[in-house]
Amino acid sequence: MTLLSICTTETIKSAASALRSGNLVAFPTETVYGLGADASNQTAIAKLYATKGRPADHPLIVHIASLDGMGQWARDIPDYAITLARDFWPGPMTLVLRRSKLAQDFITGGQDTVGLRVPAHPIALALINEFYNQGGLGIAAPSANRFGAVSPTTAQAVEEELSQYLLSDDLILDGGPCLVGVESTIIDCTGPAPMILRLGAITPLMVEESTGLVALESNPAAIRVSGSLDSHYSPKAKVILDVVAETGDGLIAPDQIPTPNGVVRLAAPSTIEEYARDLYRALRSADQKGLEVVVVLQPGGDGLAAAIRDRLRRSATR
């Protein structure tokens, strides 16, 4: 495994070639770092699942360069999905659509749907476009961590998490810290109206304003997607929500909340955007410091704050 801190044109070409050869490449997106593999190479995808320790029925998201690639991977695409793609791609949004023949069971977890996304990060887009130039069709990329653990928002976090699982020809591209910090909004576009399957930076209100349709809430019979298990995004430390931190605990709370004596302050965000950016770094920091308990005071409000609370609820579930 090699970590590449300077991503030049030649670096991107080498990374795309590594993907075409069946290797894994971790790369930055605006949300979190992804662990990429050739979405049409079953052997490479099996390697990706093994590296993450991910259940085989848990589907992957295919990263493409633009909405022009939707027709390769999906069929029966509704007009409102095209509208969403035009409004929010590149960006932190995944659309779940009826799959085409190109999207095989080893990508979709055996479902008749496929998740597609165009990331808004220059390194990610350069890698996908170069992958296309070399004959590739899409890069499957879940978050670059072991299954169920905290998603990485820096290349160093990827290295710490996966170095013992990645092989010598696998790569990590360092694009600096992720700007959003929580995973993409996932929207089911297989019905008459969009259904939010996972909250993120693209909010239900934004979806409604874009499409003119009321965004439906997910239900237990919804399509399986990434990050939908009750327990997920979990550090080794126990996460406890909205209680008073005690001596020896870690604390994540808005900056106006003081730090009690004997408590280790892990993050003090001043805005919702900063809260999202700092959350996973702070949870990882708790494990690095050997803390047993992390107390988190959750942000109120809708939009991105609701996505943060969704991640925290899952991280606190054991």
pLDDT at 220 over 90: no
pLDDT band of 7, cuts 50, 70, 90: confident
* Residue 230 in this model has a pLDDT that exceeds 70: no
Q: How far apart are CA 297 and CA 311, in angstroms?
A: 13
Which residues are CB-contacts of 101 (< 8 A; sequence separation ≥ 6)?
Answer: none
Q: Report the percentage of the chain scoring pLDDT > 90.
A: 88
Average pLDDT on 187-193 reads: 95
pLDDT at 1: 80
- At residue 281's C-alpha, the angle toward residues 287 and 202, to 5°, is 135
Q: What is d(CA 35, CA 32) in angstroms, rounded to the nearest whole number? A: 10
Per-residue pLDDT reduced to its tens digit, 45-59: 999 999 999 998 899
Q: pLDDT tens digit string along 32-89? A: 999 999 999 999 999 999 999 999 889 999 999 999 999 999 999 999 999 999 999 9
Question: How large is the C-alpha radius of gyration of the chain?
Answer: 19
Q: Is the distance from CB of 226 to CB of 241 less than 8 angstroms?
A: no
Q: What is the pLDDT of residue 234?
A: 83
- Enter the pTM of the model: 0.94
Q: Are strands 93-99 and 113-117 parallel, antiparallel or unpaired?
A: antiparallel
3-class state of residue 309 by DSSP: helix
What is the percentage of the chain residues whose pLDDT exceeds 70? 96
How does residue 97 score in pLDDT terms, banded at 50, 70 and 90? very high
Q: Is the pLDDT of residue 169 over 80?
A: yes
Q: What pLDDT sits at residue 203?
A: 95
Q: Which domains, ranges and CATH numbers included, belong to the chain?
A: 2-217 (3.90.870.10), 238-315 (3.40.50.11030)
Nearest to 296 by CA among 264, 261, 262: 264
Structure tokens at 115: 């998740």
What is the chain's mean pLDDT, rounded? 94
pLDDT tens digit string along 239-270?
Answer: 999 999 999 999 999 999 999 999 999 999 99
| Residue 97 · residue 111 · CB < 8 Å | no
CA distance 82 to 189: 10
Kindly list the strands in the beta sheet with 293-296, ordered across the sheet, starting from the edge strand earlier in the chain: 238-241, 293-296, 250-252, 264-267
Helices 204-211, 79-88: inter-axial angle, 10-degree rounding: 120
Q: Helix 272-288 crosses helix 155-162 at what angle (to 10 degrees)?
A: 30
pLDDT value for 232: 66
Greater pLDDT, 5 or 266: 266
Confidence of residue 216 (pLDDT cuts 50, 70, 90): confident
**The pair of three-digit structure tokens given for residue 13, joined into one six-digit string:** 């070409």
How confident is the model at residue 6, as a pLDDT?
85
**Amino acid 126: pLDDT:** 98
> What pLDDT score was predicted for residue 225?
78
